[in-house]
Chain A
Amino acid sequence: MNRRTVRRPLAVVSAAVVSSALLAGCAEEIPAPQAGEPFSGPVLTEEQDVAIIEAVSATLDKADKSRTSADLKARVTGPALEVRKSQLKVAKANDSNEFVTAIPNNSQQMIIPTTNTWPRTSFSITERLENMETPRLVVFEQDTARKPYKMWAWVQLVPGINMPHFADTRIGSEPLAPDDGELLVASPADALAQYADIVSLGTKKSSFADTFDLPDADLVARVQGDAKNVRATPGFDDADGKYTVEFTAREDDVRVVRTADGGALVVGVLDGKSKLTTEEGAEVQAYSKTQETLLGDADPTNKLVVGYTDTVALYVPPKDSGEKVRSLGYSHVATSASN
């Protein structure tokens, strides 16, 4: 009896404890936010990049149709805007888009940067065009966070070149500063300047020619070929003709991204100028429809100065690779002419 009476209150107490514990358990703890790992990958997904490419292409199409450069501004900037404006001007004057570079809206390779700051630069290599023109390497840039990505530049790849490999879009490629040549055979800015020197002087006169591995159909070949043609024009020597070309790299307009092998893809702008002078009284005709259009209805004189806004793409290999800097592609467009 005694044991029973002792045990029963115990049971009552334990039951009360258990039930109160159960009720106390009802109050669920409020979760705290668990911030994930900081982003270190690409700033864009492939889908986003595709959307950007299509948006840019749509803008280009619209501007190509209206041939008004104002339509470009939403999605075109930098050197590309300059060039495109010029091309649209020529197109409008000639009522033909013959000399407007076509930029396909597809992409065979996207190169997406990894960065948490602005500006951000992404690259895209388009497919080969329907008319068998070589693929374009297009550069997009987001200047600030509140701005959209815009086409900053494009180049046409040189046929037969060996493109470097790039990191997968899910990994992203590291952007490099133009003067960051620590792991490269030359800093991107230097490589560009040297290339400009070669373009200006030709492979024979430039001292940097040895450090470059130049394809047969790059900008050097083009400019020097043109110069050769001009100089070889009948009567050129008789008229005391002088033809000089000068290309300089724009220091600010250089975009660099690291390739998969540790090298760098460099896209930069060369300001070019060709100057043709003859003896007094002679008349120099424009060489091309573009120049003619740019000249307008100015009367021909014995002088012709043509300005170019050229974009070039170079591959700067890593330091100890033993490779030379390669020229990958270029865009050679006359944007001004005067006499």
Chain B
Amino acid sequence: MLQRILGGVLVLLGLATVALGVASATVWRATDTVVATAEPVGDGTMIITDPGVLGLVSDDVTVTATVPEGQRVTLAVGRDVDVLGWVGEDPFSRVTGLSDWESLRVTEGEAPADEAAADDEAAADDEAAADDEAAAEEPVTGPEPAGSDMWVAETSDEGTVTLRWSDRPGRWTLLAAGVGEGAQAPTLELTWPRAVSTPYLWPGIGVGAVLVLLGAAVIVVGGRRSKARAARTGRGDTTRQESRAGSRDLGSVSAPETDDGAQDASPAPFAGANPFAPVRATERPANTPAWTAGPAGASEPAEPAAPAGAAASSIPPAPDEAAEPVAGENGSGTAEVPVAARLLRRSRRQQREQAGWPAQGENAAPEEAGAVGQPVADVAPAPVPQPVPDHAAPEPTITGSMPRLTRRELRAQEEARRAAEQGGVARVLRAVTGSVPAVRQSPAAEPAATEQEGSPDLSTPAGRAAAWRATWGFGSDQNDGTTDQENR
């Protein structure tokens, strides 16, 4: 149980990991581009980027600068000294890097001290340049960087302007300037393409798959273990029964001699059968529908099982030492063995009933009557409840007959179980649902086993006799039984 829960948890965890891995490559996949914006700070009409900012994420960058409607904006890329030299003393904003993936860090730039004075003086002196580019130069007017010989790339337009730049070795700096009267520094937007990898996709799927398999393995192993445990306890019963069967046989042989001396000692096997039939007779009224159904009664697994248990319990506690363990086993076994094992055992009992009783109770009795004659017939019609408690004989016969049946049934059952276990779908289903396999599998496998043995034979007297013989372990079947025992 615990194993199933833990296995389930592992499976869920694995599925979750797979989901996360897939999500990392789909829903949470980083965008192909990094878009970062910079708002200018302080005064000034210019904003520049520090060297290295343009190539921050990748070498190719698309710069977009935006100024309010109706104003002019210029973008230019140049060597850092050139740009700083051009900006000179004027106030400007400086982009120093990324503050996060969506915004750039902007500080107020300070002008380098060296070229300040010369710049101003020259600007005042030279009206020649002024009439071209900054004709109406007023205090608030943003100077126009466009047209300088120093830029390696530049563009200029109204409102919004875009510049593509492939970074190259060196300290390249972007200058964005609002131009003209009442200009203000533009807002920068840098867009880099990014090679987005999905590093967690396959690891996630791999780890998840491993977890799922691990969980499945845990469930399967757990299921098999519990089943094996159940089977072990069940087999323990039967083997114990069987091992005692030998002694019981002896006991049963000896028992009639001592207790039921009136009856024939020579037909020792029948001595066991004689009292057995009445027991069956007592049982039969209790579950007639089941018995009339015969082998088809396999469809109802639980009900036949219950009477079987009832039959076992209904058998009065035998004074015989051989009978005691049987009752004790049944009682203690049901109490101790877990559910699965109990069900397994029930089904075994049911098998026993289906395979054994019809061959014995219905058919064996007449045959016995025909073959053996009176003693059997006499006992068979006798009122059922009475003989059993009265005679000590029934108990040894029960104990004697049970092992014979059990051995055969165990073999068939074991085969069926193995076959069912090896079935791929059934196994997976069991692993997933955690259902108890014993109940389902045995009925499926069982009819075949019984059919092979004797069911077609039942229609003819000879077949019935063969079935009876097989059931009781006469002839070659007895040898088979021993070989089986050896094999086991």
Asked whether, in the complex, the Cβ of A4 is within 8 Å of the Cβ of B149, the reply is: no
Asked if A262 is at the interface (CB within 8 A of a chain B CB), the reply is no
Asked whether, in the complex, the Cβ of B207 is within 8 Å of the Cβ of A19, the reply is: yes
In the complex, which residue of chain B has the Cβ closest to the Cβ of A44? B149
Asked if B285 is at the interface (CB within 8 A of a chain A CB), the reply is no
Within 8 Å by CB of B118, from A34, A35, A48, A144, lies: A144
Asked if A204 is at the interface (CB within 8 A of a chain B CB), the reply is no
Number of interface residues of A (CB under 8 A): 46
Asked whether, in the complex, the Cβ of A51 is within 8 Å of the Cβ of B149, the reply is: yes
> In the complex where A31-B57, A74-B128 touch, is A145 in contact with B123 (Cβ < 8 A)?
no
Q: Which residues of chain A come closer than 8 Å to B334, judged between CB atoms?
A: none
Asked if A26 is at the interface (CB within 8 A of a chain B CB), the reply is yes
Q: Smallest CB–CB gap between A149 and chain B, Å?
A: 5
Asked whether, in the complex, the Cβ of A22 is within 8 Å of the Cβ of B169, the reply is: no
Contacts of A7-25 to chain B: CB distance below 8 A: 8-9, 11-12, 15-16, 18-19, 22-23, 25
Contacts of A127-173 to chain B: CB distance below 8 A: 142-149
Q: Which residues of chain A come closer than 8 Å to B142, judged between CB atoms?
A: none
> In the complex where A74-B129, A145-B115 touch, is A36 in contact with B169 (Cβ < 8 A)?
yes
- Complex CA–CA separation, A15 to B81 (angstroms): 54
Asked if A229 is at the interface (CB within 8 A of a chain B CB), the reply is no
Asked whether, in the complex, the Cβ of B128 is within 8 Å of the Cβ of A73, the reply is: yes
Q: Which residues of chain B come closer than 8 Å to A37, judged between CB atoms?
A: 169-171
- Complex CA–CA separation, A216 to B214 (angstroms): 99
Asked if B51 is at the interface (CB within 8 A of a chain A CB), the reply is yes
Q: What 0/1 readout, one digit per residue, does chain B (97-140) give for beta carbons within 8 Å of chain A?
A: 11111000000000000110011001100101100100000000
Q: What 0/1 readout, one digit per residue, does chain B (73-103) give for beta carbons within 8 Å of chain A?
A: 0000001111001101000000011111100
Q: Which residues of chain A come closer than 8 Å to B50, judged between CB atoms?
A: 33, 35
Asked whether, in the complex, the Cβ of A36 is within 8 Å of the Cβ of B17, the reply is: no
Most buried by A among B53, B56, B128: B128
Number of interface residues of B (CB under 8 A): 62
Q: Which residues of chain A come closer than 8 Å to B169, judged between CB atoms?
A: 36-37
Asked if B396 is at the interface (CB within 8 A of a chain A CB), the reply is no
Contacts of A32-84 to chain B: CB distance below 8 A: 32-39, 43-45, 48, 51-52, 55, 73-74, 77
Asked if A28 is at the interface (CB within 8 A of a chain B CB), the reply is yes
Q: Smallest CB–CB gap between A115 and chain B, Å?
A: 9
Asked if A5 is at the interface (CB within 8 A of a chain B CB), the reply is yes
- Complex CA–CA separation, A282 to B28 (angstroms): 101
Q: Which residues of chain B come closer than 8 Å to A4, judged between CB atoms?
A: 3
Q: Which residues of chain A come closer than 8 Å to B218, judged between CB atoms?
A: 8
Asked whether, in the complex, the Cβ of A35 is within 8 Å of the Cβ of B149, the reply is: no
> In the complex where A8-B6, A74-B129 touch, is A146 in contact with B200 (Cβ < 8 A)?
no
- Complex CA–CA separation, A9 to B3 (angstroms): 11
Asked if B425 is at the interface (CB within 8 A of a chain A CB), the reply is no
Asked if B199 is at the interface (CB within 8 A of a chain A CB), the reply is yes
Q: Smallest CB–CB gap between A305 and chain B, Å?
A: 30
Q: What 0/1 readout, one digit per residue, does chain B (212-254) give for beta carbons within 8 Å of chain A?
A: 0010001000000000000000000000000000000000000
> In the complex where A12-B10, A37-B169 touch, is A30 in contact with B98 (Cβ < 8 A)?
yes
Q: Smallest CB–CB gap between A122 and chain B, Å?
A: 10
Asked if B462 is at the interface (CB within 8 A of a chain A CB), the reply is no
> In the complex where A33-B50, A36-B51, A74-B132 touch, is A118 in contact with B115 (Cβ < 8 A)?
yes
Q: What 0/1 readout, one digit per residue, does chain A (252-281) give for beta carbons within 8 Å of chain B?
A: 000000000000000000000000000000
Asked if B148 is at the interface (CB within 8 A of a chain A CB), the reply is yes
Asked whether, in the complex, the Cβ of B171 is within 8 Å of the Cβ of A34, the reply is: no
Q: Which residues of chain A come closer than 8 Å to B55, judged between CB atoms?
A: 34
Asked whether, in the complex, the Cβ of A36 is within 8 Å of the Cβ of B10, the reply is: no
Asked whether, in the complex, the Cβ of A18 is within 8 Å of the Cβ of B207, the reply is: yes
Q: Smallest CB–CB gap between B381 and chain A, Å?
A: 55
Asked if A233 is at the interface (CB within 8 A of a chain B CB), the reply is no
Q: Which residues of chain B come closer than 8 Å to A32, judged between CB atoms?
A: 97
Q: Which residues of chain B come closer than 8 Å to A116, judged between CB atoms?
A: 81, 85
Q: Which residues of chain B come closer than 8 Å to A25, judged between CB atoms?
A: 199-200
Q: Which residues of chain B come closer than 8 Å to A146, judged between CB atoms?
A: 86, 88, 119, 122-123, 129, 143, 148
Asked whether, in the complex, the Cβ of A36 is within 8 Å of the Cβ of B170, the reply is: yes
Asked whether, in the complex, the Cβ of B13 is within 8 Å of the Cβ of A147, the reply is: no
- Complex CA–CA separation, A149 to B129 (angstroms): 11
Asked whether, in the complex, the Cβ of A145 is within 8 Å of the Cβ of B150, the reply is: yes
5 residue pairs bridging A and B, Cβ less than 8 Å apart: A12-B10, A15-B211, A36-B170, A144-B119, A145-B85
Please name 9 further chain A to chain B contacts, defined as beta carbons within 8 Å, in addition to the given A8-B10, A39-B79, sorted by A numbering: A15-B211, A43-B79, A73-B128, A77-B128, A144-B85, A144-B118, A145-B150, A146-B88, A146-B122
